Structure formats: C-alpha cells, structure tokens
Amino acid sequence: MNTFYVTTPIYYVNAKPHLGHAYTTIVADSLSRFNRLMGRHSYFLTGTDEHGDKIVQAAGKAGLSTEKYVDEISGMFRAIWPRLGVRNDDFIRTTEDRHIACVQSMLQRVYDKGDIYFGEYGGFYCTGCERFYTEKELEDGVCPQHRVEPTFIAEKNYFFRMSRHQGWLLEHIRKNPDFIRPEGYRNEVVSLLESGALEDLCISRPKNRLSWGIELPFDHDYVCYVWFDALINYISALGGAGSEMYNRFWPSAQHVVAKDILKPHAIFWPTMLRAAGLEPYRHLNVHGYWLAREAKMSKSLGNVVEPLDMVERYGLAAFRYFLLREMHFGGDSSFSEEGLVARLNADLANDLGNLFSRVLSMNAKYFQGIVPVPEEMEARDKELRDLAEKSLKNFIEHYDRIKFSNALEALWELVRGINRYIDASAPWTLFKENNTARLATVLYTALEAMRKVALCLWSVMPEASETMLHELGGAFDEKGFRLSEEVGLWGGLAPGVRAAASSNLFPRVELSVTEDGKKSSLPVKGRKNIQTGLSKEMSAETRPSSSEALSPVDIDDFKKLDLRVGTVVQAAKCQDADKLLLLQVDLGEDSPRQIVAGLAEFYSPDELVGRQVVVLSNLKPRDLRGVRSHGMALAVRDASGLNLLAPWNEVENGSRLS
C-alpha cells in the first residue's frame, strides 16, 4: 500500500495546547515524515473538537460567546503546530460546514440501517469526559479520571445499537492483532469486550439542555453527542465516505491517541463505522501519559508544561528528539527539564553534534572542505558500512512498528559507531604520515555514514536534518530521497561537493535555577552567572560517585558474583504492580529463569523480548509481590531513566562476565 493517513485526536478547545497535545501531534508528524521518506503518499490531519457541554462552560468562564471562544482557542492550536515543526496537511474544526454535513449524513446512514433508536436513559454524566458512567465504573462515586462527582441525568434520547457489533469487533481484533497497538491496550479492549455485554451508546442531547452541537437530521429537537460527532472528523476531513480522498487514504488510516481516549477509539468508532457500512481504520496507536510531578499533566492540576517554553530554552530539535527518544510508546513517562538537558548534552551535543563538528573541521583542514574521492575500502570501512546498513534497517523496522525510542537507539548505534571509527582510524595521524589516499577514504566513509544519519533524522528533527545535509554539501530533497533504498546503498554522497568547514549544531547547555526558583538554561560556553547548576535530585542521581565512596574489594569477592548474559524470551507486566515486569530469561540453562524487575516505567514488554541482558544469576531467589524472582537484571540509572546493560555484540546465552 503506497498511501499513509495519520491523525491526531482533535483537541478540545477548553484549554491551551500543552506538552501532552504537542507529543501526540509530534508523533503523528514524525510518522507522516517517515512515511514520506519511505516513498509513501502521506496525509496528516489534526484539528479541534468544539462542541459539547464542556466547551460551553469554558466559554462562559472566559466571559466570551461560545463562537468567539472556540475561534480563539482553535486558532492557538492551529498557530502552535508550525512552531513545533509540525506540517499537517489539513486542520479540521467540528464547527465547519464540511464536518457538520458529513456527521449528519453518517447519522442518517446509521439511522436508515436501523442502528439508532429512541429510548429513555439515566446515567452518571461527567462533563470532563463528556460521557456517561455506569455506577460500576465510578470509583468511590467519582469519575476515575477527573475525580469529580458526576451528575445523574435521566432523559429521553437516541441510542446507537453498539451492542449489535460487539461480536464482530472482538473477531476483528482477534484476526488483526495489530489493529490496536501496543499489545497491552489491545488486551485491555479484548478483556473489556469479553467481560460482558456492551451497552448501547446514547448519542443525542435534547436541545433544551444543550444547543451547542450538530442537529440530528431526523429530529430537530436534538443535537448529536460530542463523541459521535468528533470521531467522524477523521472521515469528514477527507470529504466524506465515497469521496476520492476517502477512497485513496481511508484504507491506510492510522490514529494516534493517548490511553485516556482508548474506549471511544477502540470501541465506539469501529462499531460506528461498521454500522455505517464502512471499513474500519487500519491501526489505533495508543500511547501513555506524560507525567509532571508524578501526575498526568492537566490544566486542573496546574502541572502543565508549555511546549514553546521548552523550544525557546532548548531548541526545537532537542525538544522533539527528547519526546520521541524518552517515551517508550505505550508506557507513561515523566517529563523533567533535567532529563531533557541530560539527553541533549549526551546524545545531541556529545555524540551527534561533536561528530559533525570534528569530521567537518578535519575535512576542511585536510581537503579544503571538498568531499574527497575514496579509495579501496579496508575491513574497518566495510564494518562501518555494514553497521550503517544494519542500523538503518533497524531504524526503519522500529519506526514502522511505532517504536520511536528503539529506532533512535538503533540510529545512535551508528552515530557512536562513526565516532569510534574516527578514533580508531586516527585521520590526524594519516595526515601527518601524508597518507592522503587512506585519509580520503576514512573521511569519505565517515561523511557518507553521517549523511545517512542526517537523512533518517528528518522524521525527528526536520530543520536540523536539513541543516546537517546542507553542511554535508547536499540539500534535502523530499521527493528524491528514499529511506528504503538507502539501506543497502553506499556512495550517495557525491565526492567533489563542498561541505561546511565547521558545525555547531547542538551546543551543550546547563540547567540553572534562578533566584526565584525558576529553571533556565544557558549554553555552557559563554554562560554568565550560572547559579546552582543541576538540581539536587539530578546531581545525586547522575554524578558519578568517587571511587573512595565504597571500600575496595578483593578479586575473590568479585568472583563470588555469577554475572551472566541471557536473552529475554518472554516479558509481561506484573499484575497489580505497575512498576514491575515479569521476565523469562534464557541463561543457557535447561529452562528460562524467572526474574521480576522494576522496569515497567522504562521498557514495554515487547521491546525487551529478544534483547540480551546481564543477570546476577546467583542472587538468592526471593518473592516480589508474591512472584518468585531468581536473579537480577543489571541496569544503570541516570537523569534520563533506567538503561539495561547488554554486551556490545550478541554473545552465547549463559556466557559469564569476567
């Protein structure tokens, strides 16, 4: 299939855009760019959700007419995206005529098929969620998301016969295991569907209670329920079912949402489509929450992070890179400026920026900035070429499976590989020895590998990627580059072109705390008045402790530790323990070892399967939350989180560390 259609949720206009909205939209943008690089025709939609009680209330609070209020906040969303490097093809608002017409035609279609009926209903309504809750779903009488007591409402309304499609939906999910991904969310939906009869969905509101909505085409006294209205945006933006754009893009539709709106997307939407006689979307990609101070970011909790503040302080490339690298898609992540700064300094300034700076300045010094003509490749050059091939292949595979963090990890294997290659090839010595032929090959090999890195990064940090390609003497050509063809290709960089003489892509920054307690960042070079440097929490965790901190041990003491390498053959979340994962690790023994590890915040079960880890295998077995754990997987913690240790290259399972 050569098309790709990606959407974000349409955001409620009751709050300004924050980091959570920015993340989902950057993910969708990144997917759209990646698919373009892969040669697919991509179409990317975002927009705003403007009907419902919640919006009317917010407008009232702001002292504005609802129309004026929705225009204002929708405008803020529309305006922020280009500043975050987001390039959407369309922006839909649910108050637009094209959407209203499409919703009415869908309603009529489902009504004509007999899947909408009139009835009476009483339920607990949470305005925050814009949905009814059953008594069972409430926690201590309050909405589990907003922690407020919902209002009991009983009235006559129209209902969508959602229950009729429950069997079909379950079957569809079973037959298409990646319909909802990652797996944890699919399982959640399957158990919800298996756990009992799905209730029909109330899809109207009487106009005498709420008039801010789309009128039902078959009853002028009612408006459409906001979720039934909102979900249809994914089709109305294409011009409605049967339009040319619909026929072209709908079969490849992928939605990106967070787990808060799993149910409407995984259950309401596919059954609505089914009832209207339309094909289901292809994938629902569900991510976790960005937490700030341990809680989901939200306006009501006052812990929102402003994306533009972060961009202003750390730059767009670092911000986007951090979001995509830090969150393991599916799980929750904590946002902290310390974490962002740590990644910026380590991955971008040290690894990538430094690589560009040193190789380009060597090329300027040794070849006057002209990309040299390489001679015959030696083993070390071929090794780097093979690493580039492997790394790009992995990058693509992970991206296609929405594993951005792993994709970037795979790409950084190449970045670090090029740095090692330069160290090992020592161009400065070749220069001293007048070995120009070898020097040319070494610099060309590094520059060509750097070009590949820069190209992949167009999905993540488009502007910086274009700068890198420019520095390498080329220009970004969206139509010309094909990432899939790059995998086995070597020599895309034309010798003879002029590359930049220097590069300063990602200066290191240091986080400082100002007198009023606010954080700010300053580039390390030329900074003035840095006050406290990194925060206490950060320095305690990441500053390497001095060797005096622990008393010396004998080699015999060390030998008591049986450290072995094994492969994770199975991984799953531990029931009732959010932070724990249950691993089965093949240590070359008769059967895999069961290890319970506190990794769930940092790794999803599926990304661990197949990976090698280092295990302290003679740790006495113990029970964690009632589950036997025999061994400990070793990891290192820094400000960016937890990093599992693994051997450089794959080794035989059971190999002992020495």
Q: Catalog residues that contact ligand MSP under the rule CB under 6 A.
A: 9-12, 20-21, 23-24, 49, 230-231, 233, 257-258, 260-261, 289-290, 296-297
Q: Closest distance between ligand MSP and the C-beta of residue 284, in Å?
A: 11
Q: Is the link from the previous residue into 150 a cis peptide, with omega within 30 of 0?
A: no
Lateral strand order in the sheet of 116-126: 131-133, 116-126, 151-160, 201-202
From 41, 207, 296, 519, active-site residue: 296
Least separation in angstroms between CB 571 and ligand MSP:
23
Contact 19, 335 (CB under 8 A): yes
**Residue 232: what residue type?**
I
**For residue 612, what are the β-bridge partners?**
567
Nearest Cα neighbor of 447 from 393, 495, 412, 411 is 495
Closer to ligand MSP at the Cβ: 204 or 465? 204
Q: Which is nearer to ligand MSP, 11 or 444 (CB)?
A: 11
DSSP 135-155: GGGSBTTB-TTT-SPPEEEEE
The residue whose two tokens read 């814009």 is 130
| Shortest CB 305 distance to ligand MSP, Å | 9
For residue 61, give the 3-state DSSP assignment. Answer: helix
What is the closest distance, in whole angstroms, from the C-beta atom of residue 286 to ligand MSP in the complex?
9
- Calculate the alpha carbon distances from 631 to 102, 114, 217, 571, 588 in Å: 58, 59, 64, 15, 14
Q: Are 399 and 483 in contact (CB under 8 A)?
A: no
Distance of CA 143 to the CA centre of its chain: 27
Amino acid letter, residue 143: C
Using left for φ > 0, alpha for ψ between -120 and 50, and beta otherwise, residue 526 falls in left
Told to judge if 296 belongs to the known catalytic residues of this protein, a careful annotator would answer yes
Active site residue 224: no
To the query of whether residue 202 is one of the catalytic residues in this protein, the response is no
Report in angstroms how near the CB of residue 266 gets to ligand MSP at its nearest.
12
Is 129 one of the catalytic residues?
A: yes
In the set 61, 156, 299, 365, the catalytic residue is 299
Using alpha carbons, select from 236, 320, 251, 238 the residue that is nearest to residue 24.
320
274 vs 593, beta carbon nearer ligand MSP: 274
Q: Which residue number, 37 or 201, has a Cβ lying nearer to ligand MSP?
A: 201
**Taking the CA atoms of the chain, what radius of gyration do you get in angstroms?**
27
Least Cβ distance, residue 568 to ligand MSP (angstroms): 27
In angstroms, what is the minimal distance from the CB of 255 to ligand MSP? 8
Q: Give the residue at shortest CB distance from ligand MSP.
A: 20
The β-bridge relationship of strands 131-133 and 151-160 is unpaired
Please pick, among 102, 129, 456, 574, the residue that the annotation labels catalytic.
129
Neighbouring-strand partners of residue 92? 47
**Pick the catalytic residue: 16, 146, 263, 630?**
146
Nearer to ligand MSP, 12 or 458 (CB): 12
528 is a catalytic site residue: no
Q: Do 416 and 455 meet the contact criterion of CB atoms below 8 Å apart? A: no
Nearer to ligand MSP, 252 or 298 (CB): 298
- Angstrom distance (rounded) from CA 62 to CA 73: 11
Kindly tell me which of 28 and 349 has the beta carbon lying closer to ligand MSP: 28
CB of 53: closest distance to ligand MSP in angstroms?
13
Q: How many CA atoms lie within 13 A of 54 on its CB side?
A: 19
Give 21 or 398: the residue with its C-beta nearer to ligand MSP.
21
Q: Output the smallest distance, CB 398 to ligand MSP, in A.
A: 20
CB 327 within 8 A of CB 348: no
Nearer to ligand MSP, 54 or 451 (CB): 54
In a 10 Å sphere around its CB, with 0-12 CB exposed, 13-18 middle and 19+ buried, how is residue 591 labelled? exposed
Least Å distance, CB 484 to ligand MSP, is 29
* Alpha helices, DSSP H, located in 210-336: 226-231, 233-236, 244-249, 262-263, 269-275, 307-314, 316-326
| Residue 299 known to be catalytic | yes
Query: What CA–CA distance (Å, rounded) separates 164 from 162?
Result: 5
Distance in Å, CB of 10 to ligand MSP, minimum: 5
CB 224 within 8 A of CB 204: yes
Pick the closer one to ligand MSP by CB: 223 or 297: 297
Q: Which is nearer to ligand MSP, 236 or 445 (CB)?
A: 236
- The token pair at 242 is 């049967």
| Cα 538 from Cα 534, distance rounded (Å) | 6
Residue 133 backbone phi and psi in degrees, to 5: -115, 145
Catalytic hit among 102, 126, 456, 574 = 126
DSSP string, 578-604: EEEEEEEEE-SSSSPEEEEES-TTT--
Q: Which helix (H) or strand (E) holds 642?
A: strand 641-644
> Is 146 an annotated catalytic residue?
yes
CB nearer to ligand MSP: pick between 54 and 398: 54
Residues 657 and 645 sit within 8 Å (Cβ to Cβ): no
Question: Shortest distance, CB of residue 67 to ligand MSP, whole angstroms?
Answer: 18
Indicate if 18 belongs to the active site: yes
**Within 10 A of 136 (CB to CB), how many other CB atoms are there?**
6
Query: So which residues are the catalytic ones?
Result: 18, 21, 126, 129, 143, 146, 296, 299
